[in-house]
């Protein structure tokens, strides 16, 4: 025969076996909403995410940051700089170096140029490189 004490104990075990897991499952499914209702914020504006670029949005969220995984890298920038400097008359050769967002260009001018012509060449190269590389702080130095 079951006593009152034994009956209470059995009812308590049944309650703990069903009610507690149900509360845990209910609380976990409630957390999945994360403050967003069907992809919309509470002020009725659609939430925006970065594109699926295969790199967890890294290259889409930082489009001007040079890295090897995108088309914006130092090698392609160096090729473009040499390409825009090639048509300028008076440049014998050039050397390009990067330091973060600083871009240093050293130009070796033809020895036949005067000092004023070297300065004009330096100013022209500064203008052309800065126009084509707006994301860098460009410094151009010219010498003979």
Each residue's pLDDT tens digit, 90-140: 999 999 999 988 999 999 999 999 999 999 999 999 999 999 998 899 999
Predicted confidence band of residue 26 (pLDDT cuts 50, 70, 90): confident
Q: Which CATH class is domain 73-143?
A: alpha beta
Most confident by average pLDDT, 36-50, 64-78, 122-136: 122-136
Encode 22-46 in three state secondary structure.
HHHHHHHHHHCCCCCECCECCCCCE
Locate the domains of the chain by residue range: 73-143
Question: Tokens standing for 109?
Answer: 């001018």
The torsion angles phi and psi of 76, rounded to 5 degrees, stand at: -70, -35
Confidence at residue 48, expressed as pLDDT on a 0 to 100 scale: 62
The rounded distance, in Å, linking the Cα atoms of 142 and 88 is 13
Say what the pLDDT of residue 142 is. 94
Q: What are the backbone dihedrals phi and psi of residue 104, each rounded to the nearest 5 degrees, phi first?
A: -110, 125
Give the mean pLDDT of the chain: 79
């Amino acid at each position: 025969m079951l006593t009152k004490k034994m009956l209470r104990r059995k009812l308590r075990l049944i309650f703990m076996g069903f009610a507690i897991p149900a509360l845990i499952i209910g609380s976990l499914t409630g957390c999945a909403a994360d403050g967003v209702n069907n992809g919309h914020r509470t002020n009725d504006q659609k939430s925006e995410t970065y594109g699926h670029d295969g790199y967890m949005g890294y290259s889409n969220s930082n489009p001007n940051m040079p890295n090897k995984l995108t088309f914006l890298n130092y090698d392609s920038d160096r090729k473009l700089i040499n390409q825009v400097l090639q048509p300028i008359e008076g440049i014998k050769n050039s050397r390009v170096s990067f330091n973060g967002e600083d871009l240093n260009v050293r130009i070796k001018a033809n020895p036949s140029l005067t000092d004023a012509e070297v300065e004009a060449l330096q100013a022209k190269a500064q203008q052309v490189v800065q126009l084509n590389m707006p994301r860098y702080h460009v410094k151009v130095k010219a010498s003979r």
